[in-house]
Chains A and B, each alone.
Chain A
Amino acid sequence: SQQGEEDPQALSIQEGENATMNCSYKTSINNLQWYRQNSGRGLVHLILIRSNEREKHSGRLRVTLDTSKKSSSLLITASRAADTASYFCATDAGSNNDMRFGAGTRLTVKP
C-alpha cells in the first residue's frame, strides 16, 4: 500500500514560475525522499531529508518536512521546460527494508 500521497496529482505552470508539490504520509518515518521520473524512464533520486531535519536545499530544489503534520513539500524554483516530469515522494515506512512510494505529481512546465 502507498505510504506517501502527493498533491496535486497534476500541475501545469509557465517557465520561470515556482512549482510546489506536497506529500502526506501516515506513519512515523526516519527519512523521506523525493524522486523525479521523466516520461518513459526510471526514477532518479533527488533529495533525502531525515526526520530530524526541517529543510534541505539542493540547487533549485527546496524540501521541507513537518513531522508533526506528517507532510513534506518540494519546491522547484525558476522552473524550466526540462523540469517537466513526474515527482514522487517515498518514505521508509515499509516493513521490508524498502521505501514506499506515492502515486506522484505530474508537473508540466510550459516554455
Chain B
Amino acid sequence: NAGVTQTPKFRVLKTGQSMTLLCAQDMNHEYMYWYRQDPGMGLRLIHYSVGEGTTAKGEVPDGYNVSRLKKQNFLLGLESAAPSQTSVYFCASSSTGGRANGYTFGSGTRLTVV
C-alpha cells in the first residue's frame, strides 16, 4: 500500500529552468493538494484539485501550474524556476477534503534553485 508517492525526492535547478513534480496516490482520493514548506512558515497551499480534470489556486499559486488529467496523479510545474521557489514541496490527498478526516502526505520533494 504505497499511499502518496512523490517524485523526484531531490532536485537542483538553475534559475530559469523548468521542471515537473509528480504526485501519485493509490487510495482513490478525490482531493489532492500541493503545499510548500519553508522554515518558520508552516505549510502554504499552492494549488489543489477536487477531482479529476479540476484544478484551483491556493494561497501562493504564482510561478506554478498544475494538472490533474488522471484521478490518481497531480502534477506541479515550474515554468521558469526562481530562487524564491527553493523549498520542500509536499503533496497530500484526502477522500473528503480533509475536513472530515485527515490528509495523507507524500514524503516530499526538496527543491533548490540556484
CB distance from A90 to the nearest CB of B (A): 8
Asked if A103 and B105 sit within 8 Å, CB to CB, the answer is no
Closest to A98 in B: B45
Q: Evaluate contact between A101 and B42: CB separation under 8 angstroms.
A: yes
Name the A residues within 8 Å of B4 (CB-CB): 42
* Interface flag for A69 (CB, 8 Å): no
Q: What's the minimum C-beta distance from A98 to chain B, rounded to whole angstroms?
A: 5
**Which listed residue, B31, B41, B50, touches A103 by the CB 8 Å rule?**
B41
Tell me the nearest residue of chain B to A88, going by C-beta: B42
Report if B90 contacts A (CB, 8 A).
yes
Number of interface residues of B (CB under 8 A): 29
Q: Which residue of A lies closest to B104 (CB)?
A: A45
- Residue contact A98 to B48, C-beta cutoff 8 Å: yes
Asked if residues B104 and A31 are in contact (CB atoms below 8 Å), the reply is no
Give CA–CA (A100, B45) in the complex, Å: 8
**CB interface residues, A 69-104, toward B, < 8 Å:** 88, 90, 92, 94, 96-104
The answer to whether B42 touches A97 (Cβ under 8 A) is no
5 additional A-B residue pairs with CB within 8 Å, beyond A35-B105, A88-B43? A40-B108, A90-B98, A97-B48, A97-B50, A101-B43
The contact sample of 13 A-B pairs, CB cut-off 8 A, is: A1-B59, A31-B99, A42-B106, A43-B43, A43-B92, A45-B101, A92-B98, A96-B58, A97-B98, A99-B103, A100-B45, A101-B35, A101-B42
